[in-house]
A and B are shown apart, each in its own frame.
Chain A
Amino acid sequence: MLADKTVATRPSLRLRADLPDLAATRADWPTRPMMIALAVGFVLFGAAGLELSPGEARVGMASGEGVGPFGRVFGYWDPSVWPLPVAFGQVWSYFEELGPTQNAVRWPAAIAGVLIGFILARRARLTIDRRAGVLVALAWFGSFALMDRSSVSGLDLIAGLGTVAALDRLLAKGSGWVVGLWASLAFLAAGWPPLAVLGLATVVLGRSGATWSWSTTCPVAVTVAAWSAWALSQARAEAWASALALPITQPSSWGLAIAAVCLGLPWTPFAILSTSRPLREGWSKESRGMILGWLKVLGATLIVGMMVPGLGSAALVPAMAGLAVVAASCWDRLLADAGELPATVGRRARRIALLIAGLWLILVLGWGGYVGFAIAYYRSTMIAVGLVSLAGFLMAIRASRLGEVRWALGAMVAVSVALKLAHWGYYVPESNYRTGAGPWGRAIGQWVPEKHPIHVLHAWPADLAFATNRPFRQLPAPHNIDFQPTKGSKFILLQDSEYAEYLNWSKGWPKLIKVAEFEDEMGLSKRILTRTDEPLIIERPFRKHDPVE
């Protein structure tokens, strides 16, 4: 009520004759520099800081092996690892000195996320206006999902790039071979689930020019056939079948809608403003076509992702893209409002902003305050997060009092910045310290010469194996160590129970020398690094920066 009175008694700044038309000036925002700045600040800054989860580590391990129709993990084809992320990882690891690190997985995903944002923002800029382009970029890059990009949340941004680009092309120009190429890319990144999501979205869109045409189908069919032929020529048919059947074994993602909203915070709640008819009526015909198209995509992907087992991961990124486009379009409409929108719409936006900024400030003051006082290492980070969050909250209050949505937008930008600061300065180092396998893997890897494989008798945790920065080979039986291609002494990593078995019954085993032992993270068992009793031949690997003699 207080806000309404303020609006009534105080004329809008925009209507004052002594000020320029702010809406018009904003439409001339330098779109490209702003989009690049947002991408760099929110996504690329600290892009590879977070250690890999076990699932991502499998891609990382495969990036250090040869090219194939599947990733090669522990020396075997892994049908759950598709070739495109591995290929990107291999390209990235070319620049690494000693094989792939977490950069080889994190950077391609970050770049894919940036490209998705550019595709969405470009379409909004062309269809609506420049400001809408920047707002879409802000809603996409400024979301928690793009800051984190962890596969623990189910995000697959490389497959998502293919899916979102195909959907964008379908919405803008209808079906065609370009859509087929993007769909093929998505298939090579994650298998058939993205194709299923695309197919259903096409049906739901129901546009005459956006059907699944022959020109779309042909590139996809050729890609699937070529990949199948490649897979069947390189591996057994069971591996090919496993790769295709694996998604069906996954459970349904009933929490997909909640996940999409939470990962898109703090911007996704503003998508609810699209329920306002006056706001929708302000969109031009072209704008409405694009935005309603993404709304349909959002609904379709959420339904199919939740109902059909195995499609949750493939549906998440397009659903989030739909939410970002719709939320940003609502913001654009609010900022362009010249008085034709009912006051309730702006008031609702300001209240949502105030709620988000207030809840975030409470969280920061509570948890962040405790962390800042308890752990001196994070104190400066938490002070910065607190100050930015406080500024955001004050802007949200100011927006409510003045009835100006620009201040509410400023509050949301401040919340995004604070979120990024908290993620970069607290979440990443704390997560690495608490749950990362890095120190435990590097402890083992330091005893093994560069590029020498570590042999194991069973599959170890992939994140631990990847953190050693050495190739891992799983042996079917201990005596197979004699048939490994490397020269001289070979390293074998054993559990303490396996080592005791070796000591008690060593007939089938090669003679081993104990190199080092390590307690595990909980102190419950030991890992014992051994090597075969042969001369240790260390071939110094070629380094890229060696001078040419």
Chain B
Amino acid sequence: MRIGIVLVVLVAAGVSTYLGIETRKNRLVWDHFDVVKPDILYRSGQLNPDQLTEAVKRYGLRTLVNFQRPGPGVEAERALAKSLGIDFLNLPMTGDGFGQELQFREVLKACDDPDRRPVLVHCARGTCRTGASVALYRFERDGWTIADVANEMRRQSYRDGWLPGYVYQMIKNRQGFPLPDPAITLDRNLIPPVTPPTEKPSQEGTD
């Protein structure tokens, strides 16, 4: 009995180690891959070339978006996208996901264009940068609440909690009362400081 238990534990430990190593090397599963909206938007972490090729075939992807900074990895992916005949969009930003609004809006443009979608967005882990771009899609297109978007980001392992609020301020049509137009007016009623007149030397003639 004890030998059996030891064997079971050893086999379980061995299988777990093997699976762990394969996962770390990105060979076992597609890292953080998920369907945001079928035939429109997909998300993932960094996939290896075989996985990317398979994803393009399986989901008919037409645009590949990479949020990582330019480097050998990005160049290799650009070449792969070219060989596969799909668009490649590089939107480099820092790993914490705090990219610029115009970068995230490029993803929405691709999703809105029937000739450019389905779109796969990815960064290194598929959590922060990818999560922020998907968050903007959820806010702008699906109208989700900030709580639901934050829940979805948590599900994709984003635990810091800042990005949903950061992306929320980019939305064009936010829930709440509209700002009056004009939103800011300033009446300058302060008396401008009086500068003392400079005294000119007298030009009067002398006798």
Contacts and interface: CB of A to CB of B under 8 A. Distances in A.
A36 interface: no
A443 B143 contact: yes
Contacts of A397: 1, 4
A171 B173 CA distance: 64
A450 interface: no
Given A373-B29, A374-B30, A439 B145 contact: yes
Interface string B18-50: 011001000011101100011110000000000
Given A433-B152, A523-B40, A518 B142 contact: yes
A370 B156 CA distance: 16
B8 A517 contact: no
B99 to A, nearest CB: 22
Interface in A498-549: 516-519, 521-523
Interface in A315-369: 365, 369
A439 B40 contact: no
Contact of A519 (B20, B141, B157): B141
A521 B143 CA distance: 11
Contacts of A299: none
Interface residues of B, number: 34
Contacts of B19: 369, 373
A431 interface: no
Interface in B163-196: 173, 175
Interface residues of A, number: 31
B58 interface: no
A269 B23 CA distance: 38
B155 interface: yes
Nearest to A372: B19
A447 B175 contact: yes
A200 interface: no
Contacts of A429: 155
Contacts of B1: 397-398, 401
Contacts of A374: 29-30, 33
A446 B145 contact: yes
B148 A439 contact: yes
A438 B148 contact: yes
Nearest to A432: B151
B205 to A, nearest CB: 77
B128 to A, nearest CB: 14
A165 B37 CA distance: 47
Contacts of B37: 519, 521-523
Given A522-B38, A523-B38, A523-B40, A377 B154 contact: yes
B5 interface: yes
A145 interface: no
Contact of B144 (A390, A394, A443, A522): A443
A397 B4 CA distance: 9
Contact of A377 (B5, B30, B143, B155): B155
Contacts of A377: 154-157
A446 B142 CA distance: 13
Contacts of A516: 143, 173, 175
A122 to B, nearest CB: 39
A376 B30 CA distance: 12
B160 to A, nearest CB: 15
A447 B174 CA distance: 10
A525 B145 CA distance: 19
A446 B175 contact: yes
Contacts of A522: 37-39
A227 interface: no
A125 to B, nearest CB: 35
B29 A433 contact: no
Interface string A426-453: 0001000100001110111011000000
A256 to B, nearest CB: 34
Nearest to A383: B16
Given A444-B143, A518-B142, 5 more contacts: A376-B32, A433-B152, A438-B148, A439-B145, A519-B143
22 contacts: A369-B15, A370-B29, A373-B23, A377-B157, A390-B8, A397-B4, A401-B1, A433-B155, A439-B142, A439-B148, A440-B144, A442-B144, A442-B147, A446-B143, A446-B175, A516-B173, A519-B141, A522-B37, A522-B38, A523-B39, A523-B40, A523-B141
Which A-B residue pairs are the 10 nearest by beta carbons?
A443-B143, A439-B148, A374-B29, A518-B143, A376-B157, A523-B40, A519-B141, A523-B37, A373-B23, A446-B175
